[in-house]
Structure 1
Amino acid sequence: MKLHYLFYFFLGMVTTIHAQDPIYDFTFTGGFQGWTPNSVECEGMESDKAMWLWVDDGIIDQGAYSNYGLMNSRTPESGVVVLNSDFLDNNGLDDNIGQGDCPSPQIAELISPSLDFSNEDSVFLSFNQLYYRFIGYRIAGGEDEADKTATYVEISNNGGSDWAEIPVNEKLRTYRATQNYKGELTLDISQYAAGESDVMVKFRWKGDYYFWALDDVRLYGGRKDDLEVAAFKYPVSNFETPKEQIKHDTLRFVADVVNLGSQPVDSAYLYVILQGNDDNNRGEYFRDSLLIQDMMTNDTMEVELPNYFTTETLNPGAYAFVYRLRNTKRPVEVNLANNIRADVFLISEDTFRKSDRGDGRGFRFEKESIIGNYYEINENFDEQILLDHISFSAFPTGSNKLAGKEVVAYLLKIDDDVAADLSDWNFTDPTSNKKTIEGIGSYIFTAADDEATDPNHRFIISDFVNVNNPESPIVLEPGSRYIAAIEYGSAALDIIHNLSERIIYYPTAFGSEQFSTMVYDGTDNQWYINGFGSGFVAVIGLGIDIEMTPTENLLSDTEVKIFPNPTSDFIQVRMNLDRPQKVNVFLSDVSGRMINMIDRSRFISGTIQVDVQSIPAGTYFLNVTSEEGRRTEKISVIR
């Protein structure tokens, strides 16, 4: 998923009164500006074809499989430089992999002119970048550095005779691109460059797809002004949550901010914005800020924004939360990208997920083990929630195959009397004692599964047995806690469960709402409720169905009136009950898919308004339920 927000949307607000000017500033306006492209090899063979490109309009669209559009840098329209492995390998033609002028992997260099820092006590290199990764460098039957980065910075202080290597983007995984806060890197190269008169900088590509684009390479004699949003709390419990489950959530916004500059910061503001992240929804839903004062050099502060946001008004779709940190003196900082951190979450109809996809990495179990994700059902939801499926992602080790192997899936319920932080849970029994198996299923891999190389691919288990009542569906209870889990038995130990490194949850700092992946390790017969650590999230999703709770009692015309019908904008539900009670209003389409839900606690009389302005014309059903009965009406929406 692409994160939509304006990267440098505060750049126009800064002034240059307090700016620290770079000693050298290469914007690549008009060309390479004295930098020298140097081809080393193509597909393991010496070649002069592995060349960096200068792109006059800053648009990255040369390769067949990596059209990224305009680079997000300080001055993209005046030109950028790019090593486009995708383009070199296929000449920009689909179905031409390996047939281009320079088949991958490639090794290519971009070398600066000589730079003089003889009068500097410190030197910092800062540059804009966009790296879209497949793998590092691998030659069949030869050198294998596939797990390493393809991107390196090298520094020489003797005119290019010797080079010190600095790998960059080492944590980026396959099919990932640099997130926007990594779109500008700042490196302290003082140990190589300070006091030296003949310094050279080299950008070196050594890899296989897709590209590395660079712009606005700047070198500073210090790091006077540089604030950073170093980390943040993911404000929701899951990457994806059904609408009717997230609507009662309260989002708290917490971030760590750091003064990386050499000067104290008298005051700065931390802002957060919650906005739509779909092409048809970029609206703002929440904004907050807090003044931070007296930050000394290298100070790190945990900042909690004062206000909260409840998600009741959010409909299914994608949403972005954006943290922005701004010095009130508004200097042009050495690094602008690290002032902003952002991520997204999804609201769907019927799916829980902890991450968007896996990163093709995982841990191999030595003995039978269970890995699962923690999901909590909202206590305020009264309708019946049924287990539909559990999804997961896995891949075999080495040359092994998935076909014929079997894994077991569990829906485990944590006992209601267990503490919220699980401190009194039983950690030694895998599926009993303070936990109960609610449903059990299995998945037998086929030969077709071995062909599923897309990291987004998920295997689906939808056939479950209700252990407690085999003739009934599996019901998830409001307020209860569940683990959607996959067990790898002795015959499946050469299968790796796919993990994601994209989202970090912090259960030890923020409580049960941040529980994510849990692991039962058969080697030491122990549950680990923090799994492999906060940075690793299992690809295991939970799909649900929502059924209206049956009732034989009907609400009378005196108790509820629904109007107008037909309607084009709003449905009014006027109620007059004899006592305070919980009321739910559901709007669904003819297939039974829930479109909107509104609930009120201790409601006795008044009007509930249902917004239908954004849904297509057609026939819908409005269901009104209370503790005393139900009313259903067919609604016509006209345009």
Structure 2
Amino acid sequence: MIKHCLPTLSLLLFMQPVFAQNIFFSESFSGSFPSGWTSVQRLGTNLPSSNWRRTTVGPQGEFATAPLNSTTASGGWMIFDSDLNCNHPIGQDVWLISPPINASDKEIVWLVFETFYQSFNDRPMVRLGNNTANLDSWAGIEVFPGIVANQFGGVIEGDQSLNPQLVYLNISEYAAGQPNIRFAFQFLSTNATNNGADLTGCAYNWQIDDVKLADFDPRPSSDIRINSFFAVAPNAITPRSQIEPIGFLADIRNSGKTIQPATTLSITIENSSGEIVHQDSLVFGPIAPDSVVQNIFFQSEYTPPPVEEVYTATYFARTEIEDEVPANNSRSFEFEISDTLFAKQFGADLTSTAVEDLDYTFGNVFYVPNGSNLYARYISFGIANAHQLSGKTVNTYLYRWYGNDNGDFLANPDEYGGGPVGANAYTFTGSEGNDLITVPVDFESNGIALESDAYYIAAVQYETNGQVPLNVLASNALDYHAAYLYSDSLMRPQYAGIVDVGNTGQLDWTGFGLDVVPVVRLSIGALTTTADRILPKGSAKIFPNPVSDLATLQLRLPQLSDLVLLQLYDSKGILHWQKQ
């Protein structure tokens, strides 16, 4: 599992929430740990920092996320910093418990709080009860149901970037009419909370501030939003020789209290001069509160001309009723047509590393619709801690992948011919900084002839005999989930990053989550007379297979050649032998 360094429940961003006088309880955690509140560590390392505590700086662990950007953050907020006090494999169970609250005269009770959270084999809960001697008897409501490892809490509302995320939770069933009710924020990470990661008791953190209880429904009346599930271009940067039609979809959600009678969703693309080059729209009928319109494709696609250009695409939702939160009505992304460069990202905004095994392979998948007279030339990659890797070597590989034929979400050796079509190595000097490192795709610097209608995986493999991790630069600025859904539905799937923790030879194209891609790029160019030509599938046969001692290699060359390079890789993609 890769760890990244950086609800029916209604959640939404509302930068300046304004409520009437019907807020009957509030806490901003300003100045000091509030009177009447208690923190209970039921499972952990029993250190002061391994419990809920007040902070003004945010997470301090190795994989710290951003601090909570709450309304009253300048006065402090509450945090449980799981990553700062890992307790694997036993786990963590910590509670932040409110004072007793009199809600005996309330028919409706809503809990509202601002939060920032990223998941990793843990389960945040709101618990309600009054018997502090028997916490197991308290009712529980899961705050982020269905979330998986490395996702942010905002994914439940459709926007992982929400900071703060404003959580609205109707707790009337448990609190209304109660004279002595308490609520608690429970962070639990045990074997029972596995959601796709490899460690328990060693997650990220949960941050909370500006807690309120209201005796009315505090959600906006009218709020239509575009979720973070929207299709982007297949690549951030695409060579002008590899242009394909770009398709569009975006999920919209009614996060308000009233029915939206009609909503128009549009897509507009502008070039760098501000000229509109493409427009399309969809019209939806009534959308009920707390409901999502999802996976509806726009009718038309856009095919950019084969010239270098930067485009901005914008989705926009327009309703008949005035929207009280217009800031979430649009989503934009950029894409670029380049001369020769493939890239899944523009820059780097985070780092990633393997946590359970320091040996791993990472890279990106690029689709080549037109390989005629073109070849792969260079692989570029970015490393965050090159200064710690002086003298260590990584291998770079280019795989020709035939697609996920068996549907196991892996690029298997059988699907990429057993080994790479190009290989090289790079030894760190320690002075690289965060600059991109660029190497030829093969040892001889001749390039690899490309095929048409083919996937190519540009990958970097790290193996260490010590305990020094390799932290790859990565980006979550573009989320490829919706782009994959769109392309796969049309039987022309487009992929994003790959990872192979442990260097098993199984390249997992879901391991980064499709919303995070490593900084690994591929440059292509015109074919030269010295470019390496990879033999067609079936041109080589080795027998017996498997073999314990001596094997015979039989080649069927399509034509005579003065120079043939043989390379032998194991199932993990590691080069063991070569001969020219």
TM-score interval, smaller chain: 0.5 to 0.7
Cross-structure match for 1:440: 423
Distance 1:117 1:275 in 2: 57
C-alpha deviations, 1:566-587, integer Å up to 9, x for none?
A: xxxxxxxxxxxxxxxxxxxxxx
Amino acid paired to 1:429: P
Aligned-residue offset at 1:270: 1.8
Partner of 1:623: none
- Partner residue of 1:324? 316
> Over residues 288-342 of structure 1, what are the superposed CA-to-partner deviations in whole Å (9 max), with x where a residue is unaligned?
221112334444332222222222287433x44333333323353xx55444444
Matched ranges for 1:549-628 at <5 A: none
| Deviation readout 1:465-502 (Å, 9 max, x if unpaired) | 36xxx473334445432110122336378534535444
Q: Which residue of 2 aligns with 1:253?
A: 248
Q: 1:38 to 1:313 in 2, by over 3 A?
A: farther
Equivalent residue for 1:354? 344
Give the Cα–Cα distance (whole angstroms) in 1 for the partners of residues 167 and 326 of structure 2: 10
Which structure has the greater CA radius of gyration? 1
Q: Within 5 Å, which residues of 2 pair with 1:355-504?
A: 355=345, 356-357=347-348, 359-364=350-355, 366=357, 369-379=360-370, 384-393=374-383, 395=385, 401-414=388-401, 418=402, 422-423=405-406, 428-429=412-413, 433=417, 437-448=420-431, 452=433, 457=434, 459-465=436-442, 470=444, 472-489=446-463, 491=465, 495-496=469-470, 498=472, 500-502=475-477, 503-504=479-480
Matching residue within 511, 514, 524 for 1:532: 511
Letter in structure 1 aligned against 2:393: E
Letter in 2 for 1:221: D
1:446 and 1:352 map into 2 onto residues whose CA distance is: 26
Distance (whole Å) between structure 2 residues aligned to residue 331 and residue 514 of structure 1: 35
C-alpha displacement of 1:220: 5.2
Name which of 278, 302, 306 aligns with 1:309: 302
Q: Partner amino acid for 2:423? A: I
Distance, in Å, in 1 between the alignment partners of 2:323 and 2:112 is 18
Cα contact 1:412–1:431 (8 A) shared by 2:
no
Q: More displaced, 283-292 or 499-508?
A: 499-508
Candidates 281, 295, 298, aligned match of 1:289: 281
Partner residue in 1 for 2:494: 514
Are 1:394 and 1:495, in contact at CA under 8 Å, matched by a contact in 2?
no
What's the Cα RMSD here? 6.1
CA distance in 2, matches of 1:458, 1:500: 15
Q: Which residue pairs with 2:166 in the alignment?
A: 185
Aligned to 1:38: 31
Q: Point out where structure 1 has 5 or more consecutive residues left out of the alignment.
A: 1-19, 27-32, 53-70, 74-79, 86-110, 137-145, 204-210, 551-639
For 1:353, the aligned partner's letter is A
Instruction: Return the alpha-carbon distance in structure 2 between the equivalents of residues 196 and 253 of structure 1.
Output: 50
- Using a 3 Å threshold, how does the CA distance of structure 1 residues 275 and 188 change in structure 2: closer, same or farther? farther
CA distance in 2, matches of 1:536, 1:324: 21
- Judge conservation of contact 1:367–1:523 (CA < 8 Å) in 2: no
Return closer, same or farther for 1:309/1:183 CA change in 2, 3 Å cut-off. Answer: farther
Distance 1:383 1:212 in 2: 57
- Higher relative contact order, structure no. (Cα contacts within 8 Å, ≥ 6 residues apart): 2
Taking a change above 3 Å as real, the CA distance of residues 421 and 535 of structure 1, as seen in their structure-2 partners, is closer
**Distance in 2, Cα, partners of 1:35 & 1:437:** 56
Distance 1:212 1:424 in 2: 40
Q: In structure 1, what is the Cα distance between the partners aligned to 2:455 and 2:55?
A: 55
Q: 1:34 and 1:84, CA in 2 relative to 1: closer, same or farther beyond 3 A?
A: closer
**SS, match of residue 304 in structure 1:** coil
- In 2, Cα distance between the equivalents of 1:282 and 1:231? 24
Q: Find the aligned partners of 1:504 and 1:436 in 2 and give their Cα distance.
A: 27
Cα pair distance change 1:377/1:493, threshold 3 Å: farther
What's the TM-score, normalizing by structure 2?
0.55
Q: Percent identity?
A: 17
| Distance 1:219-1:377 versus aligned 2 partners, 3 A rule | farther
Structure 1 residue 374 displacement after superposition? 0.8
Q: Give the 3 Å change call, closer, same or farther, for CA 220–284 of structure 1 in structure 2.
A: farther
Cα separation, 1, equivalents of 2:411 and 2:256: 46
**What residue ranges of structure 2 are gaps of 5+ in the alignment?**
1-16, 35-47, 57-68, 77-97, 154-158, 186-206, 530-580
CA distance in 2, matches of 1:322, 1:126: 31
Kept in 2: contact 1:364–1:494 (CA 8 A): no
Distance change in 2, residues 1:382/1:213 (3 Å): farther
Quickly say closer, same or farther: Cα 1:485–1:365, change in 2 above 3 A: farther
Distance of 2:455 and 2:427 partners within structure 1: 27
Counterparts in 2 of 1:157 and 1:347: CA distance versus 1, 3 Å: farther
The one of 345, 348, 368 aligned to 2:335: 345
In structure 2, give the amino acid aligned to 1:542.
Answer: R
**For residue 539 of structure 1, what is the amino acid of its counterpart?**
P
Length, aligned pairs only: 436
SS of 1:323's equivalent in the other structure is: strand
Between the aligned partners of 1:182 and 1:409, the Cα distance in structure 2 is: 37
Q: 1:539 to 1:274 in 2, by over 3 A?
A: same
SS of residue paired to 1:237: coil
Distance in 2 (alpha carbons) for counterparts of 1:471 and 1:349: 20
* Deviation for aligned residue 1:232: 2.5
Q: 1:367 to 1:183 in 2, by over 3 A?
A: closer
Deviation at 1:184, TM superposition (A): 6.0
